[in-house]
Structure 1
Amino acid sequence: MKVPKKLRWLATLSMLIFMLLISTGCTEKIIVLNPKGPIAEHQRDLMLISTVLCCIVIIPVLILTAIIVWRYRDKAGRKASYSPNWAHSTKLELIWWGIPIAIIATLAVITVRSTYALEPSKPLKASVKPITVQVTSLNWKWLFQYPEQGIATVNELKIPQGVPIRFEITADSPMNSFWIPQLGGQMYAMSGMAMTLYLQADEQGKFWGSGANFTGTDFAKMYFDVDSVGQDQFDQWVSKIKSDSPVLTLDGYKQLVEPSTLQARSYSSFPEGLFEMTVTKYASSHNHGMSHKDMLDMSTSDDHDSTHGEMPGMDMSH
């Protein structure tokens, strides 16, 4: 049965509208497209700009492909022109070479600028002092240490709204990737190295965080809640942990390192220099450009700020 031309166009238009409505409605559910911080917002905009620029080429190509297949199909009485000796058109050559080259050049400029603007170890501009959180990837859990507050948590991250967070990230396990999609992109957690990542939550709420790298049997359970709260609530939370939670000892940390999955828990204190000890015990064996004096300096240093965002005494060029 032959389908009327108007009915075909109506079906096509309905499908396009349906796809548009679906994609629009899913934006809130696709968390990388629903940013809650300045870094994630810039990354979302970069993805959208790149997608739009690519669509300038992809959509016309797909439409023309369908038109050509339909117009030049094998059909009795076909009226489409047939030019077997046609070989060159300067105008068409300029179009199908010039437009892609212009788009690629535009993407290159945008990507380079965004790469420098979104450098992970670059401090965020803010009127308040950043809070440092030391992140250690374990099998199969996350340990968060707050050196300024003197507390630690497992699989629970609470941060004050509007305050930049300076994450110092390492691993006491196979390499993983620290990721809070609504706040920013991934940063690898590697043994013997301390990577720096600045993020910030502009809104209060609970966000999802996880490990984004395969690390064994229970890697899928390496997720955690990120709770963005007001400064007063954050201070009350710190005080509650200090008064109600147990102490994390070295023996307790050795038990945490053992492969296992855990629910969220908290500690009122942790051994001084625990993060630095975790980094240097692998750095000494892996020899990431560190001398014995560098490791001693790092273990005793209270200043975690450096020009390029790395831990003092560490050569991050490796």
Structure 2
Amino acid sequence: MKTLRGLPVLALALLLSGCDAVLFSPAGDVARQQRDLIIISVVLMLIIIIPVIVMTFVFAWKYRESNKAAHHEYDPEWNHSTVLELLIWAAPLLIIIALGAVTWTSTHKLDPYRPLERVDNVRSVAPNTKPLVVEVVALDWKWLFFYPEQGIATVNEMAAPVDRPIEFHITASTVMNAFFVPSMAGMIYAMPGMETKLHGVMNKTGNFEGISANYSGAGFSDMRFTLHSVSDADFDAWVAKAKAEGGHLARADYLKLEKPSEKEPVHYYGTVDPGLYNAILNQCVAAGQMCMSDMVKHEQHDDHGMAGMAPAGHPHE
């Protein structure tokens, strides 16, 4: 019997052993603050939930039919208690106020478009620190990364120096997707013809997984990449490796890469056609396509021209 009693505990342990609690073991400061926000929110809600659950069982036990001692407490004329009303309304109200304050503060503080103000909880970002700019394109079904400062591009692999702020510029080629490195920062969408931004930082060296968090078709489950968080020297070596091993990423090569493919292997491009990311963003990579930015400028010019053409007044007015 003792062995049978221990089976549920063993089964639960086996189930939990398969869970990857990456959200609760972050490697970056932004993800760490988001984890703390989850914990704070859960604790605040449990302040109400736990007493309610406990009182449910206490009342059910105390006022059970077989407890004759509790029968004399029955008061059919009872209809109001000021103390009870205060407890019922004040406690949830205080929790709501606390959650509202936490939500309002964190919404501004953890805005993905907001440049980082600190490296971790004890170090601020040094003045004049230049973030590492990474341009991201969600393809079917792979990730393309541009490093404009380094002049390279990679597929399904990226690297970043530890403790250096990273500024992501993110778009997509065809369908909406979602860029997510759980160890570094929150999820943000990638949309064709639009650019979203994300700021993050890694505080630990190691290899971390990035995923697609928005279903985008048959190859969605294998749309993953590796983020190498490394020292400055190792990052320079990684860039040198990409330059040495990679070829040139021209527009024609991108159009081939853009075609759907699953389980795309990692590969590097040592040089990239100038303006390729902007062409992808504006959906004008192929020859003869008009860029969306030029289309907007053309429409604005036409609107201004029409606005300047005021109707002629009637000669008798």
TM-score by shorter chain over 0.5: yes
- The TM-score, its normalising length taken from structure 1, stands at 0.80
Letter in 2 for 1:85: E
Summarize the Cα distance change of 1:284–1:35 in structure 2 as closer, same or farther, 3 Å threshold: farther
Deviation at 1:287, TM superposition (A): 8.6
Q: Check if 1:102 corresponds to 2:94.
A: yes
Instruction: Write out per-residue CA displacement over residues 207-231 of structure 1, whole angstroms, 9 at most, x where no aligned residue.
Output: 1110100111111111111110000
Q: Give the Cα separation in 2 of the matches to 1:56 and 1:190.
A: 40
Cα pair distance change 1:76/1:66, threshold 3 Å: closer
Counterpart selection for 1:66 from 48, 57, 61: 57
Cα distance change of structure 1 residues 176 and 288 upon mapping to structure 2, 3 Å threshold? farther
Cα gap change, 1:258 to 1:78, in 2 (>3 Å): farther
Report what 2:308 is aligned to. none
In the TM superposition, 1:63-212 aligns within 5 A as 63-75=54-66, 77=68, 79-80=70-71, 81-125=73-117, 126-127=125-126, 128-212=129-213
Count of residues in correspondence between the two structures: 275
Which letter maps to 2:70?
Answer: K
Structure 1 position 31 matched with structure 2 position 22: yes
State the Cα distance separating 1:195 from its structure 2 match.
Answer: 0.8
5+ residue gaps, structure 2, are 118-124, 301-317
CA offsets, 1:193-245, max 9 Å, x none?
Answer: 11111110011111111010011111111111111000000001111111121
Q: Retained in 2: the 8 A contact 1:144–1:154?
A: yes
Task: Name the structure 2 match of 1:222.
Answer: 223
Correspondence for 1:267: 269
RMSD of aligned residue pairs (Cα, Å): 2.8
Q: Tell me, yes or no, if structure 1 residue 45 matches structure 2 residue 47.
A: no
Specify the code of the residue in structure 1 equivalent to 2:278.
E
Return the letter of the residue paired with 2:227. Answer: V
Tell me the residue number matched to 1:3. Answer: none
- TM-superposed CA distance for 1:92, in Å, is 0.7
Where 1:70 maps in the other structure, the secondary structure is: helix
The residue type equivalent to 2:111 in the other structure is E
Amino acid paired to 1:97: W
SS in 1 for 2:209: strand
Identity score, percent: 39
Q: Which 5+ residue runs of structure 1 have no aligned equivalent?
A: 1-10, 295-318
CA distance in 2 between partners of 1:289 and 1:186 (Å): 30
Asked whether the equivalents of residues 282 and 293 of structure 2 are also in contact (C-alpha less than 8 Å), the reply is no
Whether contact under 8 Å (1:284, 1:290) holds in the other structure is no
Contact 1:140 1:221 in 2 (8 A): yes
- The TM-score, its normalising length taken from structure 2, stands at 0.80
Q: Deviations over 1:267-308 (max 9, x none)?
A: 1122211111111128979899942499xxxxxxxxxxxxxx
Change (3 A) 1:136 1:75: same
Q: Which residue in the other structure is 1:315 paired with?
A: none
